């Protein structure tokens, strides 16, 4: 038990880091972390290196004892993320079935959320169930297993031949290595000028929708290759025009599409080596919170000022917030039961055979191993941030520690919460906010996922897209006509971002699942439409606009699009609770700059990413409706997910409802996006609307 425990892997990591003198890592393994268990919080402090070394050495010396304590720490809340020892129980239960042979991979282990009704009445100290949903992959077939963790037994075991399981790194990278040895692909690569195969990387990945009849009942991946000669990474070095289909079960290349050779672009891509040039005249700036943070976080429960919420880091969708409440005069009032990103949809816009299937349902296809990656102190989060470690599992179901997957910190930007100037006086109050940040990294792209809690009762949800854009090789060095987009031109479907390097047009769509529980479970969605009203000749005006509230009775009534000429306020109200002014208490979802898909609804791609059709959807709460493109988007025909569920046009009035917001943007690449993209932020706001009787920031102190 001890030798195999994940905590021992922590010990080895810790010792290893210390031996290597890595201050950054060593300082994170402080005493507090070891005491709190494997998913712990650690504060980054700026103290002399030897103090860290000393502290870390003490930690290592006491590690065995403390670890033994940590292993026995059970979850303290039904919505706490799976703990490492729970992953191990799942592992042992699966092994005990005798069915976990070498061909059976454990693709996914996720917390199966407990019954919502039970969670809402659960009291601290009471027992609760713990279950995990597991997806196994055996010779192309998906197997769904539910494991009762507390009972240490398999609850259900269901083999599925109608869906494709998501993929994991070792599956597609292993297939890529084998593809390189395929004689036909080898020959095709040689024709494309490859002489040294050492630096060639082939990457077969799942097809994001049902694109080819051959996909029926088969686990087919499409692949292309890169030559990393002269660079750290392969992005920007495509061996273009060569594309292969691979059967992930037989591990054979089944088809090669060769559109003719285009030389591998050689534009400068080693951004890691760009020399740092001091910005002239820059003076020091400091962020300090000398008395420590003013939020509290324990076992996933966060409290900051009037806000209370739970956070867990889910391998599939990243940070999941639960039981989001606001303390209003000593009463914790519910805003949301649950909130998280639910799916991503990234279709590329080049009709070439080798590009047409480049459509990524990024979370649902690629989440095994977890979508979140490590944050870097001072780059991703400021020095006053605290960090949260995560857990994911390998393809054998073994838990792995993922240090610093989230950071949480207070941000003070010297901005007003409110202000007014009159009589030569500025009346006002400064504001600060609490930011929970993670970075989802899926292949080339990095998405910063922020939840920003504000003192006025609002939550700003933001996505910062950065990383590396996908590129295609061009025979010409630059644009010949200087405009882009001309029919037949090399940059018809994108733009040059470097020499012989084309950034291909594409979209990014994110679906956020927001289980609104405003002052209780039963809510109604109101679209308050702002409409022009013509006025009679007896008035001085020809027209004004008026707000016309209308309650959505069914799902179809609640499919909302952002239209500047038909504005509407998207309100989630509790018709059973009225505020001091007589209105139902409510929260509004205020869209930010966003986008709708421009694809044909009958396009197979769009059927899978159909959530991108509308910017807002509302569904009745169903515990199994969690992912906007369904549980298994890989190679799917779009028969699961938001568009499919809402076809039933179910009633949604005065019942438990869930909002789905689509944040999206079209991406026409530009020179400035290369070789690494500046962070581009998009956001939306969830804000109180007649939830309070007055501005909740009224009583803010004069000092932030
Ligand atoms: Cu992009």
Please report the domains of the chain, with CATH numbers, ordered by start residue. Answer: 6-71 (no CATH), 84-160 (3.10.450.40), 169-264 (3.10.450.40), 296-413+429-477+494-689 (2.70.98.20)
Q: What is the model's pTM?
A: 0.90
Query: Does 387 participate in catalysis according to the annotation?
Result: no
Q: In this predicted structure, which of 3-17, 113-127, 263-277 has the lowest mean pLDDT?
A: 3-17
Distance CA 309, CA 311 (A): 7
| Distance of CA 322 from the midpoint of ligand 1 (Å) | 30
Instruction: Indicate which residue of 91, 445, 512, 627 is catalytic.
Output: 445
Residue 57: predicted pLDDT: 41
| The pLDDT of residue 38 is above 70 | no
Q: What 8-state DSSP symbol labels residue 82?
A: P
| Distance of CA 600 from the midpoint of ligand 1 (Å) | 20
Instruction: Indicate which residue of 362, 507, 515, 519 is catalytic.
Output: 362
Residues with CB under 5 A from ligand 1 (ion): 667
Nearest to 339 by CA among 514, 186, 201: 514
Q: Give 542-560 pLDDT, tens digit per residue.
A: 999 999 999 999 999 999 9
**Arithmetic mean of pLDDT, 490-501:** 95
Residue 72: predicted pLDDT: 60
| Distance of CA 497 from the midpoint of ligand 1 (Å) | 13
Two tokens at 403? 């240090």
| The pLDDT of residue 3 is above 50 | no
At 480, is the pLDDT very low, low, confident or very high (cuts 50, 70, 90)?
confident
Mean pLDDT (the chain) is 90
Residue 481: predicted pLDDT: 76
| Distance of CA 507 from the midpoint of ligand 1 (Å) | 6
Q: Give 309-360 pLDDT, tens digit per residue.
A: 999 999 999 999 999 999 999 999 999 999 999 999 999 999 998 899 999 9
Query: Does 362 participate in catalysis according to the annotation?
Result: yes
| Distance of CA 679 from the midpoint of ligand 1 (Å) | 11
Q: Give 614-659 pLDDT, tens digit per residue.
A: 999 999 999 999 999 999 999 999 999 999 999 999 999 999 999 9
Q: Give 50-109 pLDDT, tens digit per residue.
A: 333 444 443 433 333 334 444 568 999 999 999 999 999 999 999 999 999 999 999 999
Q: Beta strands 200-206 and 220-227: pairing type?
A: antiparallel
Q: Is 641 left (phi over 0), alpha (psi -120 to 50) or beta?
A: left
**Arithmetic mean of pLDDT, 286-302:** 95
| The pLDDT of residue 10 is above 60 | no
Percent of the chain at pLDDT > 90 equals 86
Query: How far lies 418's CA from each of 21, 331, 588, 623, in Å?
Result: 47, 24, 20, 40
Query: How far lies 91's CA from each of 96, 164, 319, 396, in Å?
Result: 9, 22, 24, 8
Distance CA 658, CA 622 (A): 9
Residue 34: predicted pLDDT: 34
Q: What 8-state DSSP symbol labels residue 12?
A: H
Residue 419: predicted pLDDT: 97
Residue 71: predicted pLDDT: 53
Query: Tokens 């070439």 appear where?
Result: 352
């Amino acid at each position: 038990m001890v030798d195999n425990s994940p905590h021992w892997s922590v010990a080895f990591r810790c010792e290893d880091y210390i031996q290597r003198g890595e201050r950054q890592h060593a300082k994170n393994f402080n005493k507090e972390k070891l005491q709190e268990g494997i998913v712990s919080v650690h504060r980054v402090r700026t103290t002399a290196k030897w103090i860290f070394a000393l502290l870390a050495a003490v930690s290592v010396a006491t590690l065995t004892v403390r670890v033994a304590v940590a292993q026995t720490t059970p979850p303290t809340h039904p919505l706490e993320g799976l703990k490492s020892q729970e992953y191990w129980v799942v592992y042992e239960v699966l092994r005990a079935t005798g069915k976990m042979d070498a061909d059976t991979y454990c693709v996914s282990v996720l917390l199966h959320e407990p019954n919502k009704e039970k969670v809402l009445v659960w009291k601290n100290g009471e027992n609760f169930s713990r279950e995990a949903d597991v997806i196994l992959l055996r010779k192309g077939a998906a197997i769904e297993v539910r494991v009762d963790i507390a009972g240490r037994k398999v609850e259900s075991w269901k083999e599925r031949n109608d869906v494709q399981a998501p993929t994991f790194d070792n599956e597609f990278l292993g297939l890529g290595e084998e593809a390189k040895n395929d004689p036909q692909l080898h020959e095709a690569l040689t024709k494309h000028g490859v002489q040294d195969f050492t630096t060639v990387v082939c990457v077969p990945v799942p097809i994001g929708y049902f694109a080819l009849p051959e996909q029926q009942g088969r686990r087919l991946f499409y692949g292309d290759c890169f030559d990393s000669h002269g660079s750290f990474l392969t992005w920007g070095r495509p061996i273009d025009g060569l594309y292969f289909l691979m059967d992930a079960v037989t591990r054979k290349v089944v088809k090669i599409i060769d559109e003719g050779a285009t030389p591998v672009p050689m534009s400068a891509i080693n951004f890691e080596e760009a020399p740092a040039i001091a910005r002239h005249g820059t003076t020091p700036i400091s962020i300090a919170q000398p008395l420590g943070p003013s939020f509290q976080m324990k076992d996933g429960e966060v409290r900051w000022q009037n806000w209370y919420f739970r956070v867990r880091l889910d391998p599939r969708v990243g940070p999941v917030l639960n039981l989001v409440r606001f303390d209003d005069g000593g009463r914790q009032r519910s805003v949301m039961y649950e909130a998280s990103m639910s799916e991503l949809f990234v279709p590329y816009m080049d009709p070439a055979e080798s590009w047409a299937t480049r459509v990524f349902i990024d979370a649902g296809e690629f989440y095994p191993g977890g979508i979140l990656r490590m944050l870097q102190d001072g780059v991703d989060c400021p020095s006053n941030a605290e960090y949260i470690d995560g857990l994911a599992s390998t393809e054998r179901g073994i838990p792995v520690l993922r240090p610093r997957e989230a950071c949480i910190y207070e941000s003070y930007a010297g901005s007003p919460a409110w202000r007014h100037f009159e009589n030569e006086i500025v009346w006002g109050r400064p504001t600060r906010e609490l930011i929970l940040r993670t970075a989802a990294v899926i292949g080339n792209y990095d998405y910063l996922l922020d939840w920003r809690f504000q003192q006025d009762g609002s939550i700003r949800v933001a996505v910062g897209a950065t990383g590396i854009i996908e590129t295609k090789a061009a025979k010409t060095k630059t644009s010949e006509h200087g405009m882009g987009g001309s029919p037949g031109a090399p940059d018809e479907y994108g733009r040059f971002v470097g020499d012989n390097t084309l950034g291909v047009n594409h979209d990014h769509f994110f679906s956020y699942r927001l289980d609104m529980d405003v002052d209780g479970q039963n809510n109604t969605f109101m679209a308050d439409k702002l409409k022009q009203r013509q006025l009679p000749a007896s008035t001085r005006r020809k027209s004004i606009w008026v707000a016309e509230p209308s309650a959505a009775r069914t799902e179809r009534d609640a499919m909302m699009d952002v239209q500047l000429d038909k504005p509407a306020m998207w309100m989630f109200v509790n018709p059973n609770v009225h505020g001091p002014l007589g209105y139902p208490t409510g929260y509004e979802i205020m869209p930010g700059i966003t986008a709708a898909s421009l694809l044909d609804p009958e396009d197979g791609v769009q059927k899978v990413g159909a959530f991108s059709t509308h910017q807002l959807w509302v569904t009745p709460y169903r515990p199994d409706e969690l992912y906007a493109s369904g549980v298994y988007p890989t190679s799917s025909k779009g028969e699961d997910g938001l568009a499919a569920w809402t076809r039933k046009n179910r009633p949604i009035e005065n019942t438990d409802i869930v909002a789905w917001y689509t944040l999206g943007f079209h991406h026409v690449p530009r020179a400035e996006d290369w070789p690494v993209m500046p962070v581009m932020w998009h956001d939306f706001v969830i804000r109180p609307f007649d939830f309070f009787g007055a501005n909740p920031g009224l009583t803010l102190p004069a000092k932030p």
